[in-house]
Amino acid sequence: MKINMDDFQRVNIHTGTITGTEPFPEARKPAYKLTIDFGPEIGIKKSSAQITTHYQPETLTGKQVMAVTNFPPRQIGKFMSEVLVLGFSDDNGDIVLAQPDHPVPNGQKMH
């Protein structure tokens, strides 16, 4: 399915810095609960991410990520995920985070 530039521009992808990570044992697939700072305009948001293969909780704090910030919140078990953290599947289907390769201010919108 092809989309046009107007469709793409309606998707808000912003950078944020992970400020907290905790296990999410209630999730159907192994996951973490992330707390992410998207800067003063968007604020602090929470997300569930199935990234347990390549990342340990202690290595995620301070890491910048990219996330879709204008999807409606999604209930995952008892947890409300507010943003969709972006990543790619490796050869085994495990998720690798999409990240800027240089630090940028939290809340920056992808152009």
Residue 106 in any domain: the answer is no
Residue 92 in any domain: the answer is yes
pLDDT score at 18: 98
CATH number at residue 53: 2.40.50.140
* Residue among 40, 51, 24, 35 at smallest CA distance from 83: 35
Q: Looking at the 3D structure of the chain, how many domains does it have? A: 1
Residue 108 in any domain: the answer is no
pLDDT means over runs of 10, the chain (111 residues)? 92 98 93 98 97 96 98 93 98 97 96 85
pLDDT score at 77: 86
Residue 105 in any domain: the answer is no
pLDDT score at 111: 85
Structural domain that includes position 64: 5-97
For residues 15 and 20, give the distance between their C-alpha atoms in angstroms, rounded to a whole number: 15
Residue 66 in any domain: the answer is yes
Residue 109 in any domain: the answer is no
